[in-house]
Structures are given as structure tokens and as C-alpha cells.
Amino acid sequence: MPDRTFLGWPFFDAPHRELADGAAAWAAAELIGAGGGGHHGGSVDDACRSLVRRLGDSGWLRWCVPAAYGGAREGLDVRSLCLLRETLAHADPLADFAFAMQGLGAGPVSLFGSDALKRRYLPRVASGEAIAAFALSEADAGSDVAAMATTARRADGGYVIDGAKTWISNGGIADHYAVFCRFPEAGERGFVALMVDADNPGLRVAERIDVIAPHPLATIEFDGCRVSAEALVGTEGGGMRVALGTLDVFRSTVGAAALGMARRALDEAVGWTRERRAFGKPLADFQLVQARLAEMALDVDAAALLVYRAAWTRDAGAQRVTREAAMAKLFATEAAQRVVDGAVQLFGGRGVVSGAVVERLYREVRALRIYEGTSEIQKLVIAGRLLGEEPAAGGGNGSRKGGGAP
């Protein structure tokens, strides 16, 4: 079970501590103890579908939607989302992926949708009966989301979508997609967010994408894809506000996922260096090993402070946490890469054996420095806030593996 001493920090109240302890116990028994923790038989599609149902059946997905629509709290509590993502990522990064994409994919509706949209989509997301996806990225519009070419236009009392999205997490297995489009009728900087069901005849899964850590990703094409006026999320012309507002909430949780993987790598490294002997004594007795472990522990705690500061700030009522979330995402993901790399080094040859815990973490952690805003984009976002400017690059790709999700 991961370290929970940080729950004594003032960021958390008693319900948060209860949630974290319950989630950790469930993950230890149902993911790690049940033979999970990264080992999934069959296809990744089947594994994700199974994880979504299990997370829904166990009540964890209720934290992804508001209480009035099957959720656990009145609004989205970012500290709870971060605690759950950290816990799941520590146990099984694919379980974290399944949880995160339910939150991010449903986020536009939770935060900006009409009551009708919320009633239609959110209860099934919370129960795990439906899989959600967030379709923002394009082949030539990753971090520079304003460069998207997919368009929507008014037609027959609704909208028609044409274009393509790529690097879309849950692409091919999702039941519905939050799709972001250029909307020329609202002017040059007009965008629109629309909900599209997977069985819409104008939507096609064009290509499945294989990546270093297997996750369901795809390119989605829209050819005369018709949706009703009720599919609109937010306002006409306000689609970019929906996209960036959703990312503003969920970006901190990416840092939490990185934190969970870093904690797991540190736990594995500490256990291994105590057990492994070299030159007649445990590795943990060597000062160079102790120094590496100290650096890893420092990265973990610093990341945790930034992640939970950002989450607490949002929960305390801040309308925007762009700077705090960017700092949390940037530092936590870069730090996790260092920590996991350090763990692989301490394991030596065993650290690069396919299927070893630290080897799986090494593959899983790399993408976190890219999706929902690359590290480079986060630096621009932070600098823009310092200089009192809104960066031109909005930094967001809702895909799991795109240029800037969940």
C-alpha cells in the first residue's frame, strides 16, 4: 500500500483521508492482489472495458460526475480526483487511464453541459456502463489547439461535422465523444464543442494507434456527421472555453497520476535495495544508493505538494488555476520520469526485463510529459501567467498520448 502520511497535510479533510484509505485498500486487493497491477490478459480494449465496469461497480467512477447525475459530490472535487488517480496509478497505470478518461471525457458535460446532456450521459459514465472520450487533438493541431481544422456548421436545426481527430484515448471503444470543432459562423476564433455518439453513421474509426504502453488510441474521422442542436456543449463560439476549462480542472490530476507511478517506483526501489546484496552487503548500505533514494524521495514529496496545492486551490473556489495546474503537471511528470529512471537503474539488469514493475512504469510514465500539454507548453503557460498574458498555445490535447488526457 502506498505511503499515506501526506494525508496529514492541511490540504485534506477527514472525508478525503477516508476516500484515500478506502481506495488504497481496494486497489491493493482488486488490482495488485488480484494479479493486476499491469498484467492484463487478452486485448487492451477488453482490459479497459473490464476496468471501467469494475471501477463503476465499486463506486469509484461516481467521483467523475456531479452528485445530481449519479456522482459522489455536488461538484467535481479535484483533490478527490487526484487522490484516486494517484492511488490507481500506483497500483495499475491502466486502471488510472480508465478512470481518468471517464472524468476527462465527461468533463465538458459535467462542467458546461445542459441539464439534458448531463442526464443523458453522466449517469452511465458514473456506473461504468458507458465509456467516454475527449476528442480535441488533430494531426496538425496538438499543442496548438487553435490550429484545428475539423469544422462544424449549422444544418437542419443541428450541426454537421467534417474532419478528423487523432491520438484520441478510448478511440474505438468509447460510447460517446466530446468533439471540438472550428465554427466559422461565429468568426475566425469561433469554436464549438459537440457530443457525438459512437454509433453515429458519420463517425468512423479510421486507424488504431499502437504506442509503447498499450492503451486504446485511434484516429476518428467525421464525414457529414450530423448531430442535433441538443448536442451542443456550452455556447456556439465558446468551444475553446469548454476545452481549456476542462483541461484546467483535469491537468492537476495528470500530475497526480505521475505521482502515483513515482511513489510505486520509489517503493519498489527501497524494497529492492534492502533485499539485494552486493560485495557482501545490501545495496541500501552504499552511500551512492542512499543518495539516489534521497533524490527520488525529494522529487516525490515536492511533486505531491505542487499537485495538491493546485487541487486545493481549485476546490477552495478559484475560477482559474492555470498557473498552479501547469506547475503541478510540469514538475510532477518530469520528476516521475527521473524517479522511475532511478528505480530502473537501481534494479540493474532486472529493471529492463520485460514485465518487471519498474520496466512497465518506465513505459507508462513517458507519455505523461506529452499529453494534456507538453512540458514545453506548460513552461509557456506559466510564463504567460507571470507576464500577465494568455499564451497563444492553449496547451491541450485531450488524448492520452497526444501533444498536450485525462
Q: What pLDDT does 403 receive?
A: 34
Please list the active-site residues.
372
Q: 45-49 contacts: CB < 8 A, separation 24 or more? A: 45/172, 45/173, 45/216, 47/94, 48/94, 48/97, 48/98, 48/131, 48/170, 48/173, 48/215, 48/216, 49/131, 49/173
Q: Are strands 132-135 and 176-182 parallel, antiparallel or unpaired?
A: parallel
Q: What pLDDT does 390 receive?
A: 58
| Residue 203 parent element (H or E) | strand 203-209
Q: Are 163 and 149 in contact (CB under 8 A)?
A: yes
Q: Are 195 and 177 in contact (CB under 8 A)?
A: yes
Q: Give dist(CA 394, CA 363) in Å, integer.
A: 27
How confident is the model over 168-174, as a mean pLDDT? 97
Set of cell numbers at residue 198: 459512437
How confident is the model over 115-129, as a mean pLDDT? 98
Mean pLDDT for all residues in the chain? 92
Q: What pLDDT does 193 receive?
A: 98
Q: What pLDDT does 32 receive?
A: 85
Q: What pLDDT does 220 receive?
A: 98
Q: Are 93 and 136 in contact (CB under 8 A)?
A: no
Q: Are 406 and 100 in contact (CB under 8 A)?
A: yes
Q: What is the value of pTM for the model shown?
A: 0.92
Confidence of residue 40 (pLDDT cuts 50, 70, 90): low
Is the pLDDT at 9 greater than 50, yes or no? yes
357-366 vs 239-275: helix axis angle to the nearest 10? 160
Confidence of residue 397 (pLDDT cuts 50, 70, 90): very low
Is the pLDDT at 402 greater than 50, yes or no? no
How confident is the model over 259-267, as a mean pLDDT? 98
Is the pLDDT at 250 greater than 50, yes or no? yes
Name the nearest CA neighbour of 121 among 266, 258, 275, 230: 230
Is the pLDDT at 406 greater than 70, yes or no? no
Alpha helix locations (H) across 210-354? Answer: 239-275, 287-315, 322-347
Is the pLDDT at 405 greater than 80, yes or no? no
Name the nearest CA neighbour of 167 among 70, 95, 111, 101: 101
Percent of the chain with pLDDT over 90: 85
Set of cell numbers at residue 369: 510529459
Instruction: Give the contacts of 233 (CB within 8 A, at least 6 positions apart).
Output: 108, 109, 112, 113, 114, 117, 178, 193, 194, 195, 239, 242
Q: Give dist(CA 221, CA 218) in Å, integer.
A: 10
Q: pLDDT digits over 338-356, tens only?
A: 999 999 999 999 999 999 9
How confident is the model over 38-63, as a mean pLDDT? 90
Q: Give dist(CA 395, CA 387) in Å, integer.
A: 17
322-347 vs 357-366: helix axis angle to the nearest 10? 150
- The CA-CA-CA angle for residues 44, 77, 55, to 5°, reads 30
Q: What pLDDT does 42 receive?
A: 76
How confident is the model over 174-194, as a mean pLDDT? 95
Confidence of residue 320 (pLDDT cuts 50, 70, 90): confident
Is the pLDDT at 379 greater than 60, yes or no? yes
3-state secondary structure of 261: helix
Residue for cell digits 467521483? 63
Q: Give dist(CA 90, CA 4) in Å, integer.
A: 12
How confident is the model over 197-226, as a mean pLDDT? 96
Domains in the chain, CATH or no CATH each: 5-131 (1.10.540.10), 134-238 (2.40.110.10), 240-386 (1.20.140.10)
Is the pLDDT at 142 greater than 90, yes or no? no
Confidence of residue 213 (pLDDT cuts 50, 70, 90): confident
Q: What pLDDT does 37 receive?
A: 54
How confident is the model over 109-118, as a mean pLDDT? 98
Q: What pLDDT does 143 receive?
A: 78
Q: What pLDDT does 400 receive?
A: 38
